[in-house]
Amino acid sequence: MSQPGAVHCEAGSRLARGGTLAFLLGSLVLGSVGIFVHEAGTDPLTATWFRCAFGLLGLTLWAALRRQLSALQLRRRPSIAVLVTGLLMVAAWGLFFAAIEYISVGIATVLFHVQPLWLLLLGVCYLKESIATRRVVAVLVAMLGLLLATGVLEQLAPLGAEQGIQASYWLGVAFCLCGALCTAWVTIVARQVRHMPAGTLVWWQCAVGTIVLGAWPVLNGWPEMGVAWAWLSGLGLLHTGLAYGLLYAGMARLDTDRIAVYQFIYPAVAILIDWLFYGQSLGGLQLSGIAIMAVAIWHAER
């Protein structure tokens, strides 16, 4: 006869395995976002609108399949916090799509993962939270990794004719850091609506983006029907609806320490896809910087 503790442990292990698989699949889907943006060939704001609009559709279908449509309704009138998080998330997506016009998708994804560091700093400066010494050390080490990951040493070498390329490269880096700051602010502001499930909040963020950016493709011209629409709809249906659904399903079954480690699957996949499809390889110093960032952020989030 099985012991109750053994049965409970086995059930917990199955949940963890299922959560790991869901999180892994979600990360694999997100890692391919650069292919869809490149192949669609549209401007960043048009790509952002399609991600919001089709993401809204995908998340609605996901909720319908799980019979959770009622969870999408706000108990009371939409608050300012929901609107602000929506605007911030739309800004972050737009900055990411703008960044990959100047730098590789892999390095842009890595730079967006400095969001936990911004969150620590915002917690100290804005929320007046105390920060442990080990986290201060982790932030400093991660910043060193960030410095290497951006390719600063490689970019400082060439001068003269390639100086324009360097300027555009650093513009892409700036877009990434600003976008990561926006996502950190999303977390801060979302504390005011912490009663809302994460999936519901993303649904409202997509709704806000669809409305706010609705005039952009109308005024600037819709992409040609056909292949471009297929790639752009994938940004919403796959990289928002499906990917976020899998990630949230995985996070519900995983401990925080595992999530902190697994979050680096996404940038690793993005770097691999960038290399396989577009020949964008990273130098040794950049790879070392990514490894330093990963270890430091993991240590800070333990």
Q: Packing angle between helix 44-65 and helix 33-40, nearest 10 degrees?
A: 130
Least confident range from 77-81, 88-92, 256-260: namely: 256-260
pLDDT over 50 (residue 175): yes
What is residue 196's predicted lDDT score, i.e. its pLDDT?
A: 75
Rounded distance, CA 37 to CA 95, Å? 13
How large is the average pLDDT for residues 43-72?
88
- Mean pLDDT (the chain) is 81
Q: Where are the domains of the chain?
A: 10-301
What is residue 62's predicted lDDT score, i.e. its pLDDT?
A: 80
Predicted confidence band of residue 210 (pLDDT cuts 50, 70, 90): very high
pLDDT tens string 144-170: 887 777 776 665 555 444 454 567 888
- The CB density around residue 177, as the number of other CB atoms within 10 Å, is 19
What is residue 301's predicted lDDT score, i.e. its pLDDT?
A: 62
Cβ atoms of residues 158 and 91 within 8 Å: no
How large is the average pLDDT for residues 60-86?
79
- Entry pTM: 0.80
pLDDT tens string 105-126: 888 888 887 887 787 778 777 7
What is residue 154's predicted lDDT score, i.e. its pLDDT?
A: 66
Q: Quote the distance between the C-alpha of residue 210 and its chain's center.
A: 18
pLDDT over 50 (residue 53): yes
What is the DSSP code (8-state) at residue 72?
A: G
* Angle, CA 283 vertex, CA 277 and CA 287 arms, to 5°: 90
Rounded distance, CA 55 to CA 257, Å? 28
Instruction: Return all residues near 118 (Cβ < 8 A) that are at least 6 apart.
Output: 180, 181, 183, 184
Predicted confidence band of residue 12 (pLDDT cuts 50, 70, 90): low
Cβ atoms of residues 189 and 84 within 8 Å: yes
Rounded distance, CA 198 to CA 209, Å? 17
Higher pLDDT, 253 or 179: 179
pLDDT tens string 25-44: 988 898 899 899 999 989 99
How large is the average pLDDT for residues 208-228?
91
What is residue 231's predicted lDDT score, i.e. its pLDDT?
A: 95
What is residue 242's predicted lDDT score, i.e. its pLDDT?
A: 86
What is residue 160's predicted lDDT score, i.e. its pLDDT?
A: 45
What is residue 76's predicted lDDT score, i.e. its pLDDT?
A: 64
What is residue 165's predicted lDDT score, i.e. its pLDDT?
A: 52
Please list the alpha-helical segments (H only) found in 100-242.
105-112, 115-125, 133-149, 152-156, 163-190, 198-212, 215-220, 227-236
Higher pLDDT, 131 or 64: 64
Q: Please return the burial class of 80, using the count of CB atoms within 10 Å of its CB with bins 0-12, 13-18 and 19+.
A: exposed
- The CB density around residue 171, as the number of other CB atoms within 10 Å, is 15
Structure tokens at 242: 């499906």
pLDDT over 80 (residue 2): no
